[in-house]
Amino acid sequence: MGESLTESRTETTLPAPGGQRYAEPRQAAGTPEGRGTIGTQRDGRPAPTEGHEAATLLEWARAEVDPVLRTALGSLPGPMRRIALYHFGWERADGTAAEGSSGKAVRPALVLAAAAAGGGSEARAGAARAAAAVELVHNFTLLHDDVMDRHTTRRHRPTAWSAFGDADAILAGDALQALALRLLAQDPHRAAPAAAARLADCVVELCAGRHADAAMQRRAPAEVTLDEVLAMAEAKTGALLGSACAIGGLYAGASEAEVAALDAFGREAGLAFQLIDDVIGIWGDPHRTGKPVGADPAARKKSLPVAAAFASGHPAAAELAELYARPSERGDAEHIALAVERAGGRDWAQGQAADRMARAMQQLARAVPDPEAAGDLLALAEFVTRRAG
C-alpha cells in the first residue's frame, strides 16, 4: 500500500543527494538545522521545533491512554486480567502492583499526533480510545509473537508464556484483540467504525507478515528475494505504524487521500526503522547499549541487509551463501558481517532507510501540508528511526 503512494510531489521533500540525509518539510518553515544522519547517533536532545519533542509526546500519550487501557484491562475476568496486567508491567506474576515499563507508547502517540495534526486538540482528545485500541493490538501481537518465537524476556521481565504458560498467553492475547475492537465498537465517535475496520485489516496484515517472516527464515537465503523481504517488513512493522497514523486521521475527519498519505507516512517510517534495526542487528550501534553486535548473523537471520547482499551479484554473496549454509560457530558473525558489507548490504540498507524517510516526509507533506501542524508526527518518525536497536 505504501509502495503505491511514494511518488515525489514537492521540491521541499526530495531526499538530499547521497541518500544519507533527508530534507524535511519543516526546513521550508524555518528550522534549518539538519536532523542527523540516519542510522547514526545524534547527540543530546532533539533540536527545538515548532512541534514538541518526541519524549514529551510519548509522555503525553501515556498519560492520555493509560487510564483507558487500565479501565479496559480492569474489565477482564480475573485470570485474563492478571496476565494482561503482568504483560503491561503493571502487576507482578503474583498479582502485586508493579511499576514496570509497558513500552514507549509510540503507536498511541502517532494516533494522537495524527488526530491533532488534522483536527487540533479536540480531535486529539476524541481519539484516546482509538489510541488505546491500537496499543492493545500491538500488545496482543507481542503476546502471541513471544509464544511463537519462544522469547523468554520482554521489557526486562519473563514473557507472559514463560510466567503463565503458552495457553494462557495465547488466551490473553486473544482477549486483548477483542478488547481493542470492543473499545472501538463502543466508541460513539463517527470515525469509530472505519477505524475498527482499518484496525482489523491491519491485524490480518500483521498475521500475514509474521507468517511470511517465519516462512522466509526456513528457506535458503538465495531463494528469498529482496522484494519479498521488503514486503514482509512492511506488513510486519510498517502496517501498524501506518494504521496508527491513518486512524488518527480518521478521527480528525481527514479526507480519504489524506488518510492514505498518513498510512503511507507511517509505513515508510516503519520500514526505515526496520532497515536501521537490521543494520544494528549485524553491526551494532557503538553509541548505545542494545542488541549485541552480531546477534542476527549468529541466528542466520535473513534480514534486509542480508537479502540485499544476496541479491547483489557481488562475489561476496557466494561467500555469504557458504557461511549461511554452515552450522553456527564462534566468530563467524564477524565473517558474515564483513561479507554482507562487501556485497553492499550495509550501504544499501542505510541508503534505503534514508530513501524511506524521504518518502515518509513526502507523504507527510501530502497529508498535513502545514509544517507546523506536521511537526509532532515528524518528531515521532524521527524518534522511531533514531531509537532503532
Q: Which residues bind its own copies (CB under 8 A)?
A: 75-80, 140-141, 144, 147-148, 166-168, 170-175, 177-179, 181-182, 184-186, 192-194, 196-197, 200-201, 203-205, 207-208, 210-212, 214-215
Q: How far is the CB of 259 from its own copies (least distance, A)?
A: 15
Distance CA 227, CA 318 (A): 20
201 or 334: CB nearest its own copies: 201
151 or 314: CB nearest its own copies: 151
184 or 358: CB nearest its own copies: 184
170 or 321: CB nearest its own copies: 170
330: Cα within 13 Å, side-chain hemisphere: 0
76 or 224: CB nearest its own copies: 76
Q: How far is the CB of 350 from its own copies (least distance, A)?
A: 30
Q: How far is the CB of 167 from its own copies (least distance, A)?
A: 4
Contacts of 387 (CB under 8 A, 6+ apart): 104
Could you tell me the three cell numbers for 122?
A: 479536540
- Pick the closest to residue 161 from 97, 135, 80, 151 (CA basis): 151
48 or 193: CB nearest its own copies: 193
Contacts of 243 (CB under 8 A, 6+ apart): 134, 198, 199, 201, 202, 263, 266
Distance CA 73, CA 82 (A): 9
Q: How far is the CB of 129 from its own copies (least distance, A)?
A: 12
Q: How far is the CB of 205 from its own copies (least distance, A)?
A: 7
Helix (H, G, I), strand (E, B) or coil at 237: helix
Q: How far is the CB of 177 from its own copies (least distance, A)?
A: 6
